[in-house]
Amino acid sequence: MTRAIAQNKTRPTPSMHMLCHQAPVIPVLVIKDLAHAVPLAEALVAGGLPVLEVTLRSAVALQAISLMVRVPGATIGAGTVLNPKQAREAKQAGATFAVSPGATPPVIDCCEDLDLPLLPGAASATEVMHLLDRGFDLMKFFPAAAAGGLAALRAFGAPLPQVHFCPAGGLSQENARDYLALANVACVGGSWVAPAQMIIEERWGEIRQLAHQARQLGNHRAGRRSL
């Protein structure tokens, strides 16, 4: 029996669910200078965002992950995981989870073999259905704003109410609240809490403040709209 057939049922992904419920926002980070890794993680954790996604888009990303995992209170994942090699390297660096803008069978298989929780990306009903078939009921919705935003997520909720999403791509402090108000949104992802220029200028106090504001977005979730 092939792996796909053997797992052709909805398998809850408890670890990713747990991580997505720790805070309303997962910061998406691009770290270009290794010296920024620890103070950046400390600022975000101090602001109330403990789950961080370090994208594998820079030469120092893996080293950054291996330093940031030692920051008290931080849970570090690797983002932009595009292939099995990157998944293996992320795990080796100490990442607790992996995030991908999409989903390919090799990445899914590799993360399963590594026992590395994966937040795979989907942008259409067909992609969501493929991931459901692979047992995922929590996935990234990417690129959220470009792929239909709030209206698309609301529409997914009718035929696919069992699926929860972490929308990312085009979110901001201003629109994140509307996404978090949807019943099928577990959390959101975004780079707005750690803007590139602020990182370059090492404005950690301001980043902590942005994280704090983002954390507050979770306070309004009690009154969420149903789908």
Catalytic positions: 53, 140
Decide if 49 contacts 211 (C-beta within 8 A).
yes
The answer to whether residue 108 forms part of the interface with ligand ELE (CB under 6 A) is no
Decide if 59 contacts 34 (C-beta within 8 A).
no
- Segment holding 138, helix H or strand E: strand 138-141
The answer to whether residue 77 forms part of the interface with ligand ELE (CB under 6 A) is no
The answer to whether residue 191 forms part of the interface with ligand ELE (CB under 6 A) is yes
The answer to whether residue 101 forms part of the interface with ligand ELE (CB under 6 A) is yes
Residue 140 pairs in a beta bridge with 121, 166
CA distance 168 to 130: 19
Which lies closer to ligand ELE via its Cβ, residue 141 or residue 227?
141
Decide if 81 contacts 87 (C-beta within 8 A).
yes
CA distance 70 to 75: 9
Span of 62-70, 129-137, 177-185, 187-195 interacting with ligand ELE by CB under 6 A: 187-195
CB of 226 to ligand ELE, least distance (A): 26
The answer to whether residue 25 forms part of the interface with ligand ELE (CB under 6 A) is no
Positions that interact with ligand ELE (CB under 6 A): 28, 55, 79-80, 99-101, 121, 142, 168-171, 189-192
